[in-house]
Structure 1
Amino acid sequence: MRAVVSDGRGELQSTEQPMPEPDFGQVRIAVAAAAVNPVDIATRNGMLHTGAVPEGTIVGIGWDVSGVVDAVGDGVDAPAVGTRVLGLHADATSPLGTYAEFAVLPADVTAVIPDGIDTVEAASIPLNLLTADQALDLAGPVGTLLVTGAAGGVGGFAVALAAHRGWTVTALARDTDKEFAVRAGATSVVGSIADAGSVDAVLDTAALGADALAAVRDGGRYVGVLPPAVPDGERDISTTAVSVRHNGARLTQLLELVVSGVIEVRVAGTLTLDHARQAQDAASTPGVRGRWLLTP
């Protein structure tokens, strides 16, 4: 089968790999699509090769996947062969990721794709939606929340989820994204931190770091999405960052919000695996909205 991998030196390699076989508790997915995320680009550029894996080690690319189960390992009762699923391949050091024709995941990290969600578009959901959901778990009691990067991949989901949970959400976004942010659930949209006023918590999906603290009240909370970039706290502000975990059961619950229209799925474009680098370059363009997807 075809798969895209990298040695962390800034390039992607299209390779032929043996067909992966599911072990106990695993399912094999015939990939319909894999999403292009910033972590994929960082992996290509050596993020893992500064400590997680030795220099030059080949690693798979891709976390998000959607497709159809085509084989199951021992001990798997569900999902059955033929079921549409999505999931998160969270082992970044694996020699195979989701930029491939087939991917193997533990059965319990997958979620069945319900009617009303397109199989290909579903690949844009797992990493960003779980990140937003788990980040909000760290934000403390419901109150006032500023979401930076509110029209981005994680930020857009975060605005919708936060509003659904009962937060009063201020979105930091461009004027051109105001309509989307309001539709997602923001009560106000601002163009700068200075215009945000004082909030109980900030979810900093734009990784503004210390600059985002200016909007947080004394004793409030800062939640980031990049653990190495969490700023030092000040004025008794608690600072932390989410480290996303795969969770098939929670994904299943969140997909109900997608079907009901609470959460909007956005796809920037679709390319084939042969154009993985082109898709990554497109995904890196400032202002891109939604996720680029790769199909076999």
Structure 2
Amino acid sequence: MHAIVLHAFGPAENLVHEKVAPPVPGPGQVRIAVAAAGVHLLDTALRAGHQGPAPHPTVLPTIPGREVAGVVEALGDGVDGGWLGRRVVAHLGFVPGGYAELAVTEIERLHEVPENLGFPEAVAMIGTGRTALGILQFVELGPDAVVLVPAAAGGIGTLLVQAAKHAGATVIGLAGGPEKAARVRAEGADLALDYTDPGWADRVRDHSGTVTVVLDGVGGETAREALALLGEDGRHLVFGWSAEGIAAGGGHLADRRSESLLGPAMLRRTGGPDPLRTLELRALAEAAQGRLRPAVTRFPLPEAATAHHALETRATIGKVILEP
């Protein structure tokens, strides 16, 4: 089979498309003929040699990728034969191997993909979708809410815009460039603005006055300007800072405004014996029922380096997908 192999940490060009031995499913595992593999910003950090939240150092050479969807085509010992031929999606955790034509994982990680859901969309929901639902656990949205999403054209941002609008909130989405802003508008935002336009904050004030919630995955100057729009009793939920660091810190802002820093542990707030799986099931159900519609940007598997570069330079819309 062919896969993307990383032999040395460094730039995106270190991702090499080459022929490798196919993985063999062990006991309790299946092998999936991969139709779509997710690319995550964390993948770019691990590729560059940054450990991030990964529990163990990356051992080279490695096949990156932690989210896959496709058809089960081989079974390990002890696996029910009914899995063979089923359309599935799985988050592989911190076990890599997704950027490939074939991938293995434990049956406990599998979800059957609804017939009305495509493989790229299923991959988007298994990771990005569960994160979006995890974030939304920390805020109550309704008709009185005015929600500002600074990275509204990204994978998470697109879903947050849709969810907030579905809840009846007024939604303001920011994106880099007029093309992305137009896409945010098409996703239902009441106001979609290009954050590279220096007058965007004034346009928000003219449209809505103050905002009640900032859902911030960017940080940097854009988030600092967003915070200046946050009204009394408003909430600033921080789940990332991809720009240039977190916009504020300390847990509390002036005028009774609050700030919450959401790390990976937020995904376990759902409770129950397997909170991550609960969020994954909910995310897939939301997509299957049409309430959430993930945006995706597709690249052929051999162009993984191009996909990484595009993601790092914010040249993508929605979830980035590799297709073997």
Tell me the TM-score range normalised by the shorter chain.
Answer: 0.7 to 0.9
Match in the other structure for 2:229: 215
SS at match of 1:125: helix
Q: Distance in 1 between matches of 2:105 and 2:35?
A: 15
Q: Distance in 1 between matches of 2:287 and 2:81?
A: 22
Q: 1:105 to 1:12 in 2, by over 3 A?
A: same
Q: 1:156 to 1:120 in 2, by over 3 A?
A: closer
> How many Å apart are 1:141 and its aligned residue?
5.5
**May I ask how many residue pairs the two structures share in their alignment?**
291
Conserved? CA contact 2:31–2:72, under 8 Å:
yes
Name stretches of at least 5 consecutive residues in structure 1 with no aligned partner: none
Counterpart check, 1:275 vs 2:303: yes
Q: Distance in 2 between matches of 1:40 and 1:183?
A: 29
State the superposition RMSD in angstroms.
Answer: 3.3
Residue 83 of structure 2, aligned match among 80, 87, 92: 80
Q: Distance in 2 between matches of 1:55 and 1:121?
A: 28
Q: 1:267 to 1:140 in 2, by over 3 A?
A: closer
TM-score by length of 1: 0.81
Q: Distance in 1 between matches of 2:132 and 2:53?
A: 27
Q: 1:22 to 1:295 in 2, by over 3 A?
A: farther
> How many Å apart are 1:271 and its aligned residue?
0.8
Residue 258 of structure 1, aligned match among 281, 287, 299: 287
Match in the other structure for 2:159: 157
Q: Distance in 2 between matches of 1:182 and 1:200?
A: 20
SS at match of 1:247: helix
Residue 258 of structure 2, aligned match among 228, 237, 240: 237
Deviations 1:48-83 (A, max 9, x none): 179854587544411221111234456656972211
Residue 225 of structure 1, aligned match among 239, 244, 247: 239
Conserved? CA contact 1:8–1:49, under 8 Å:
no
> How many Å apart are 1:166 and its aligned residue?
3.8
Aligned letter for 1:8? Answer: F
Match in the other structure for 1:43: 46
TM-score by length of 2: 0.75
Worse-matched range after superposition: 12-21 or 69-78:
69-78
Matches within 5 A, 1:40-79: 40-48=43-51, 53-54=56-57, 57-73=60-76
SS at match of 1:47: coil
Conserved? CA contact 1:87–1:111, under 8 Å:
yes
Matches within 5 A, 1:141-220: 142=142, 143-173=145-175, 174-191=177-194, 192-196=200-204, 197-208=209-220, 209-220=223-234
SS at match of 2:71: strand
Conserved? CA contact 2:23–2:104, under 8 Å:
no
> How many Å apart are 1:155 and its aligned residue?
0.7
Counterpart check, 1:290 vs 2:318: yes
> How many Å apart are 1:116 and its aligned residue?
2.1
Aligned letter for 1:19? Answer: P
> How many Å apart are 1:84 and its aligned residue?
0.6
Q: Distance in 1 between matches of 2:178 and 2:230?
A: 23
Conserved? CA contact 2:30–2:74, under 8 Å:
yes
Name stretches of at least 5 consecutive residues in structure 2 with no aligned partner: 195-199, 268-274
Match in the other structure for 1:98: 98
Counterpart check, 1:19 vs 2:33: no
> How many Å apart are 1:237 and its aligned residue?
1.8
Conserved? CA contact 2:23–2:103, under 8 Å:
no
SS at match of 1:48: coil
Q: Distance in 1 between matches of 2:172 and 2:66?
A: 29
